[in-house]
Amino acid sequence: MNTFPLYMNKLAEYLRNKLFWMIDALKGGQVKTHRKDIANILENFDSPASIDRRDTLLKNLLIHASETTPYYQKYANSKKLQDFPVVNKTIIRDNFEAFQSSLYKDKPQFQISTSGSSGTPFKAYWDKNKVLRNRADTIYFQGITGYEIGQRLYYIRKWLSKYKGSKLTMAMRNIEMVNVSDFSDDYLANLIKTLETDSSTKMLLSYSSALRDICNYLQKIKAGPVNSDITSIIAMADELGDDTRIKLNYYFNAPVHLRYSNQENGILSLQLSQENNTLQINWASYFIEVLHLDEDIPVAEGTLGRVVVTDLFNYGMPFIRYDTGDLAILTREGAYFNTSSVFKSIEGRKMDVLRDTKGNVISGFSIHHLETYPEIKQFQFVQQSSTMYCINLVVSQPVGKEFEIIEYFRDFLGSDAEIKIAYVDEIPKLNSGKRKLIVNTTT
Exposed e or buried b per residue across 304-337, where buried means at least 16 C-beta atoms within 10 angstroms of its C-beta: bbbbbbbbbbbbbbbbbbbbbbbbbbbbeebbbb
CA angle 381, 384, 387 (to 5 degrees): 100
Listed in sequence order, the DSSP H helices in 157-234 are 167-173, 185-197, 208-220
The CATH-assigned architecture of domain 1-44+127-262 is 3-Layer(aba) Sandwich (3.40)
Other CB atoms within 10 A of residue 197 CB: 10
Q: pLDDT 10s digit of each residue in the chain, 443 long?
A: 455 566 777 888 889 999 999 999 999 999 999 999 999 999 999 999 999 999 999 999 999 999 999 999 999 888 799 999 999 998 998 999 999 999 998 888 888 877 555 556 788 999 999 999 999 999 999 999 999 999 999 999 877 666 666 777 787 788 888 888 888 899 999 999 999 998 888 999 998 888 988 998 998 899 999 998 899 999 987 778 888 899 999 999 999 999 999 989 999 999 998 888 899 999 999 999 999 988 999 999 999 999 999 999 999 999 999 999 888 999 999 899 988 999 998 876 766 778 889 888 776 667 778 877 888 888 888 989 989 999 999 888 888 888 999 998 898 899 998 999 999 988 887 766 667 788 888 86
Q: Where are the domains of the chain?
A: 1-44+127-262, 354-440
Phi and psi, residue 379, nearest 5°:
-150, 160
108 CB-near residues (< 8 Å, 6+ apart): 128
Alpha carbon distance 155, 178 (integer Å): 6
Alpha carbon distance 96, 71 (integer Å): 9
pLDDT score, position 1? 45
Other CB atoms within 10 A of residue 338 CB: 12
Beta-bridged to residue 259, according to DSSP, are 236, 270
Residue 79 burial (CB < 10 Å; 0-12/13-18/19+)? exposed
pLDDT score, position 70? 96
pLDDT score, position 173? 84
Q: Does domain 354-440 have CATH number 3.30.565.10?
A: no
Residue 239 burial (CB < 10 Å; 0-12/13-18/19+)? buried
* Nearest by Cα to 212 from 248, 182, 259: 248
